[in-house]
Chains A and B, each alone.
Chain A
């Protein structure tokens, strides 16, 4: 009984006791959440346009970051390396469309899902073979320093990352809503066959969508890599993006952002204030349980399209 009381009351007392620390925890959560969102965004784009649950998104993040660092280590300036890495990601999208998606067209979703897990293994081995497996430092010229604002510590790198993510999401939204190819993408997402019948080339759309996901992965990789170094564990954030995805809904871009923020903040706050009560390290599963709780109320996620089932 006393334990229960302690679990319900003490953390709130702690929050009220040190509000600036709470704000710092919140900011840390928002930063982590934005990065989850970026990875989840890559998932959503591909799922919307091709119905493929791309498990390899996390490894694409790692692969992009590895390529960038590898190029920079060989003496390429930041900008050139970025452009080259973008080119590599687009080439990768072409290769995936040609070698994996096209032969598997019209297969069941679980088969495509497994194919992306195969892709996951392949890219992991390939990236490490080409660029080496040791931990690398990624320095893109953003200082990892903190400054104080009204007693709250704010990290410059995290701030830059947050702004970049916001800009990226805005650009994507405009791209989807206003451009010709964006409209085509939405048409394909709505109905493959209808889109095909009015002359939208599905192959091109797939390449575009995988390229865009690759670029989003690159941004996520740069941000995450600048924070904690480029290493294998980078690919594991895909696992963190999954609860974000189901929370926000597989098909919703705003959902990926909102879901990311909810998961990021929720898991940081839970870890800091409630974690010690149950022995810590709850970050690994808390996000999943949170998402599961949401799902029980809304099975299609927060912003997902309502699932209408017909016999």
Chain B
């Protein structure tokens, strides 16, 4: 009943092809967006913004990028951390070389650099498939991290080897650097994520996305119906790396403040892959749901013993966290292998009729 679309007639092609064809969806999404932009900066505490909402949005963006590559184009990649590192270091180099440049433009340029690198590492994908490709992308991960560690030029010869976000303003408001407040950074992160999610949604329902899905479902068949595999796969790598690169730049500039290469190691790649799988392969919404899950579960697990008035030794708690995290992943895969996005879809179907039986 809540999702009843009876009486909503589509009289134009534009209405038929809208992203949210149902009125309830449009209202819900608009309200949700307004709430997301207004409520947290006004109400949420510094802790919630810094520890939950900002990383959530950044991870969601990275997951979105990986989802385009793995979920839509079917190319399994374990190099996400490496591509995020490219974005972060490129943003640092650009921002420090051209101090006058708008920081948002810097993020976009860093994304482009990352896209170029992604393109390069996507070349083997034409010959190598499946798990062989996944392991091959690990080469990108390890090589890139090693490169940023070894070549001092990337960190402007800083002896500590860390990159630090320089203070920059947009329209007179401090956005990056130590003086930037959490609400401002949150709004920037959210804005970028929403904008890029919109772009991604339109990409995947257009010609590009359809050719990706054709390649994913059966690449030889796709080739026969006239999709050129190399440009299609490379485009997927480039766009995916663009998203990951922007996410990586934000990761340092808007979340961590300063970082070393260890922030981008293989665990980050796996974390983002988890988000994509738990959220749902081939779903834009899934990337956000998965990111929320992976950000919130560890926080919940850390705080759960406090809520239960248990005091555990730190090491033991860490180990239990690992165990529960692992078990939860397996549990979710067993219960719903298509991810949280599928659960949402099922509940929407249910809501069409609820509370009536037919």
Residues of A bordering B, CB below 8 Å:
53, 99-100, 103-104, 107-111, 113-115, 117-126, 128-129, 133, 239, 242-243, 245-246, 250, 278-279, 281-282, 284-285, 288-289, 291-292, 295-296, 299-301, 307, 309-311
Contacts and interface: CB of A to CB of B under 8 A. Distances in A.
B124 interface: yes
Given A133-B319, A299-B132, 18 more contacts: A104-B337, A114-B274, A114-B333, A115-B329, A117-B274, A118-B330, A125-B318, A125-B321, A129-B323, A243-B135, A243-B139, A246-B135, A285-B146, A289-B139, A291-B135, A296-B124, A296-B127, A311-B224
Interface string B313-346: 0011011111111111110011001000000000
B interface SS class: helix
Most-contacted residue by chain A among B127, B136, B326 (CB, 10 A): B326
B273 interface: yes
A126 B150 CA distance: 36
Interface in B105-135: 124, 127-132, 135
A278 B124 CA distance: 24
B143 interface: yes
Given A117-B329, A285-B143, A111 B277 contact: yes
Contact of B150 (A246, A279, A289, A307): A279
B327 to A, nearest CB: 5
B76 interface: yes
Nearest to B220: A311
Interface of B: 70, 76, 124, 127-132, 135-136, 138-139, 142-143, 146, 149-150, 218, 220-221, 224, 266, 270, 273-274, 277, 281, 315-316, 318-330, 333-334, 337
Contacts of A282: 146
Closest 3 CB pairs of A and B: A121-B326, A125-B322, A122-B326
A125 B277 contact: no
Nearest to A247: B135
Contact of B138 (A111, A242, A296): A242
B9 to A, nearest CB: 39
Contacts of B315: 128, 133
Contacts of A113: 131
22 contacts: A114-B274, A115-B330, A119-B330, A121-B329, A122-B330, A124-B326, A125-B319, A125-B324, A129-B316, A129-B320, A239-B138, A243-B135, A246-B136, A250-B131, A250-B132, A281-B150, A282-B146, A288-B143, A291-B136, A295-B128, A295-B132, A296-B127
B80 to A, nearest CB: 14
Contacts of A121: 322-323, 325-326, 329
Contacts, number: 137
Contact of A311 (B124, B138, B218): B218
A125 B312 CA distance: 15
Nearest to B144: A285
Contact of A120 (B143, B218, B326, B328): B326
Give the most central of A107, A114, A250, A291: most B CB within 10 Å: A114
Contact of B130 (A109, A117, A285): A109
Given A118-B330, A118-B333, A282-B146, A245 B322 contact: no
A288 B139 contact: yes
A295 B136 contact: yes
A122 B327 contact: yes
A288 B274 contact: no
A296 B133 CA distance: 11
A111 B333 contact: yes
B341 to A, nearest CB: 14
B129 A292 contact: no
B139 A291 contact: yes
B337 A118 contact: no
Contacts of B324: 125
Contact of A124 (B135, B224, B322): B322
A128 B319 contact: yes
B1 to A, nearest CB: 34
B136 A53 contact: no
Contact of B329 (A114, A126, A128): A114
